[in-house]
Chains A and B, each alone.
Chain A
Amino acid sequence: AQSVTQLGSHVSVSEGALVLLRCNYSSSVPPYLFWYVQYPNQGLQLLLKYTSAATLVKGINGFEAEFKKSETSFHLTKPSAHMSDAAEYFCAAGTGGGNKLTFGTGTQLKVEL
């Protein structure tokens, strides 16, 4: 079964610093991969997705992620953190055979002045 691991349930960065949120998946077949952001008491907003095209994926709000098959990773980065980036981030994987998504446990990003 597919599993998604997000290392670090809490990440804290200074405003203007690099954001790096880690995600690893377990699958012999490269899945579809997604990063979502969730603000308190809200649903999930899609940041970006990997669907077997370019390995470097650019998303909204300056985020990007790189698919590395050899490392089974899909880490999310942003060059310069903004206070508004403080939220919960979820990595998710979907397999081509169906619609189901498997979510990681989430990473709470805190941005400090």
Chain B
Amino acid sequence: GAVVSQHPSWVICKSGTSVKIECRSLDFQATTMFWYRQFPKQSLMLMATSNEGSKATYEQGVEKDKFLINHASLTLSTLTVTSAHPEDSSFYICSATGGDRASYEQYFGPGTRLTVT
């Protein structure tokens, strides 16, 4: 159990366009989902925490108007990168927790590679 999927796994978009990344918990209800960003050869940096039905909580320095997060259901959260620029190119990873799992147990998706040209 505790499977988290992401779609797409890889996306290329042109500068100025928006791209949406989906994160789904396949076999449990994810009351909380997290979005991370990972630059090459670096660690994961938490971007935001989203609770189902509530507004996301963004970490300091993360532009909430640029990285729109929606967690409308217990199995789906989306991250939309608006007006993407080349510096937004990165590996985006989501994680989820919830159900009967302890709050500190996060299960990670496989990640989405975003390249902005």
Interface residue ranges, A against B (CB under 8 Å): 32, 36, 41-46, 49, 51, 90, 94, 96, 98-101, 103-106
Contact = CB atoms under 8 A, between A and B. Distances in A.
Contact of A96 (B34, B44, B104, B105): B104
A38 B103 CA distance: 22
6 contacts: A43-B93, A43-B109, A44-B95, A51-B102, A96-B104, A99-B106
B108 A36 contact: yes
B29 interface: no
A98 B43 contact: no
Contacts of A32: 104
A104 B105 CA distance: 17
Interface range for B: 20 to 34
Contact of A103 (B44, B97, B113): B44
Enumerate the 6 nearest inter-chain pairs by beta-carbon distance, A residue then B residue, closest first: A94-B104, A43-B108, A44-B108, A43-B110, A32-B104, A103-B43
Nearest to B94: A43
A37 to B, nearest CB: 11
Most buried by A among B4, B42, B97, B103: B103
A43 B93 CA distance: 7
Most buried by A among B6, B93, B113: B93
A49 B102 CA distance: 12
A44 B43 contact: no
B4 to A, nearest CB: 8
B46 A90 contact: no
A101 B107 CA distance: 12
A106 B42 CA distance: 7
A98 B102 CA distance: 10
A103 B34 CA distance: 14
B32 interface: yes
Given A32-B104, A41-B111, A99 B44 contact: no
